[in-house]
Amino acid sequence: MMRALVLDAELNAALAVTRSLSEYGFSVTCAGTGRFDKSFYSKHCTRRIIYAAPSLDIHSFINDISKELDSNYYDIVIPISDKTVLPLSIFRNKLPKNTCLALPEHEMLLKTFNKQKTIGIAQEHQIPIPNTHILYSRTDVNQVLEELNFPVVVKANSSTNIADGKVVNTGSSYYANTPVEVIKMIENINNCAFPLLIQEFVSGTGYGVFTLFKDNKPITWFAHKRIRDTNPTGSGSSFRQSIDLIPELKTYSEKLLSAIGWNGVAMVEFKKDENSGLYKLMEVNGRFWNSLPLAIYSGVNFPVLLCQSIAGTKIPEQSPYKINVKCRWVIGDLRHLRKVLKGKPKEFPGQFPKRFSTIKSLIMDFFDENVYYDVLSLNDPMPFIAELFIYLFTKLVK
């Protein structure tokens, strides 16, 4: 029996990978930082291990993973989040030599972590991007302000960085409608977030293109449209729908990933600008993504395909996947509802969901036969119960 070690047990994508590989015949060990991580409670998880949080100490994290790999053989090790992907990629030479790490080469990976590099490659290949300015330090802000058209989005060059021996989250995206707001915002941003990207605000629908590349060539494709985001001002999706792959987005994604020299899974995110009608590149995730369950329910089993690709198994030509399949993260929808009930943040320049229509949609979606669920499953109920417990507990504590 093949064996897989899946990290980031608290994440939806980790649970999806665990369920998928187990059903394919793998024995799956789940690893995470907390005893209530949802994947630990799946019937598909054969063993649980807890490692040191990389956000507290990278070296302890690497040591914990190395000890596990020294003690137990795995055919493949799959990190899910940026906070585990980055340190494992950097310190891959410290892992046992027989480790099969489901990651591309480090230099290749960095091109997806570094938004400035990604944007540069996109520009070289005529892929539309939001109008972007790079702010290298706080002292450059006045020069950049002269070139901005408001509203704008301020974001770190990389959502995850390493500082003082730990993985640091560089913060969320921020919105600004005036130069004064930009200056005030930059004063409070962590130094490790620089350089910053200041981009035009793009209002429109979000699209995701999922793919698996091997030897710099695409093996399979999938696409979705966002219906609801966990945070209505911008975040991962809580509800999304499978769609036909838009030829324009396929072309852009293939150009971009081929230029990077990509190997492995990736999600390329776009927004369709409601003003210009252009699809504009938002970012690339060089790892599994939160909406992975939708692709699996629609007939594109990326975890299995990735393992087959790494093992050198011949992968048959892709069959058409199911269109109009919808997939929902219930806890994500609850978070979405809480944000909507609070009302539109004053700094957010885009359209914001209405309270009544949101409540109506959240209820009616339970009666839609085309809706599947990221975590909730009658055949594997305990992960949802664990997730709901943690969600309610954290709300009561707050």
Domain boundaries, the chain: 3-103, 104-126+203-398, 131-200
* Cβ atoms of residues 68 and 31 within 8 Å: yes
Q: Are the C-beta atoms of residues 167 and 58 closer than 8 Å to each other?
A: yes
- For the chain, helix, strand, coil in percent to 5 are 40, 25, 35
Q: Average the pLDDT over each of 2-11, 183-192, 232-241, 308-317 and give the range with the smallest value.
A: 183-192
Answer CATH for 104-126+203-398 from 3.30.470.20, 3.40.50.1970, 3.20.20.150, 3.90.650.10? 3.30.470.20
How high is the mean pLDDT of the chain? 94
How high is the pLDDT of residue 78? Answer: 98
The CATH code belonging to domain 131-200 is 3.30.1490.20
pLDDT at 398: 47
Short-list 31, 61, 67, CA closest to 46: 31
Between 234 and 20, where is the model more confident? 20
Residue keyed to tokens 């609801």: 228
- Can you give the pLDDT at residue 163? 84
Taking only the tens place, the pLDDT of each residue in 105-132 is 999 999 999 999 999 999 999 999 999 9
Q: Are 231 and 174 in contact (CB under 8 A)?
A: no
Confidence (pLDDT) at 192:
75
pLDDT at site 366: 93
pLDDT tens-digit map of 377-387: 999 999 999 99
Q: Please name the CATH architecture into which domain 3-103 falls.
A: 3-Layer(aba) Sandwich (3.40)
pLDDT, position 112: 93
Where residue 395 falls among pLDDT bands split at 50, 70, 90?
A: low
Query: What residues have CB less than 8 Å from 323, skipping those under 6 apart?
Result: 242, 243, 244, 298
What pLDDT score does 396 carry? 57
Task: Let me know how long the chain is.
Answer: 398
Section 262-274 average pLDDT: 96
Whether pLDDT at 77 is above 90: yes
In the chain, what is the straight-line distance between the N-terminal and C-terminal CA atoms, in Å?
45
